[in-house]
């Protein structure tokens, strides 16, 4: 099993939005960064766990835990001309953007980015590095275990 952190702007998809969806499941759509796409396409697997992170908001940080379900598949939004994630260069025969589906495991108490930055155990965590913009990043097992302690 691998561990991940996935970011969403709450105006796009919040943890409460996910909790309100049928089966509390969503396609993790709209990732338009090649490194983040490659993590989803090449490394994420059914059963992996991820931290649900709100970004680009007043209170960035951890809001929940999700599980990756099923196989990686083309992001359906890239084919929809009405979507802001439409990519005219992408075709169903040769998709550019890939994604996974996630299901809510549980909402957590909010843990702020400032709280996480104050923990020496998390000093190498990708999301806490200055200038980090990746919407999907790896989380090491020790980082995951430490964060689970903060959430309990």
Model confidence over 28-68: pLDDT tens digits?
999 999 999 999 999 999 999 999 999 999 999 999 999 99
Beta-carbon contacts of residue 95 (< 8 Å; ≥ 6 apart): 74, 75, 78, 79
> How far apart (Å, rounded) are the C-alpha atoms in residues 126 and 133?
9
pTM for this predicted structure: 0.94
Find the CATH number of the domain harbouring 119: 3.10.590.10
Walk across the sheet containing 136-139 and list its strands.
25-27, 98-112, 61-74, 49-54, 3-8, 136-139
Tell me the average pLDDT of the chain. 95
pLDDT digits (tens, 9 = 90+) for 3-29: 999 999 999 999 999 999 999 999 999
Q: Give the pLDDT score at 133.
A: 82
Q: Give the pLDDT score at 26.
A: 96
DSSP codes, 39-93: IIIII--TT-EEEEEE-SSSS-EEEEEEEEEEEEEE-GGGG-TTSTT--TT--SS
Range of the structural domain that residue 112 is part of: 3-151
Domains held by the chain: number: 1
pLDDT band at 114 (very low <50, low <70, confident <90, very high): very high
pLDDT digits (tens, 9 = 90+) for 116-130: 999 999 999 999 988
Mean pLDDT of 85-107: 96
Q: Does the pLDDT at position 145 exceed 90? A: yes
> How far apart (Å, rounded) are the C-alpha atoms in residues 40 and 34?
10
């Amino acid at each position: 099993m691998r561990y991940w952190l996935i970011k969403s702007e709450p105006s796009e998809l919040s943890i409460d939005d996910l909790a309100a969806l049928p089966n509390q499941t969503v396609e993790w759509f709209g990732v338009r960064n090649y490194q983040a796409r490659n993590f989803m396409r090449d490394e994420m697997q059914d059963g992996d766990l991820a931290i649900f992170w709100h970004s680009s908001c007043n209170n960035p940080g951890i809001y929940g835990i999700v599980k990756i379900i099923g196989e990686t598949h083309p992001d359906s939004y890239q084919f929809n001309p009405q979507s802001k994630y439409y990519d005219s260069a992408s075709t169903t025969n040769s998709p550019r953007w890939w994604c996974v589906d996630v299901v809510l495991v549980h909402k957590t108490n909010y843990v702020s980015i400032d709280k996480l930055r104050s923990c020496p155990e998390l000093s190498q965590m990708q999301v806490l590095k200055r200038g980090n913009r990746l919407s999907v990043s790896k989380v090491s097992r020790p980082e995951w275990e430490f964060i689970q302690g903060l959430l309990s």
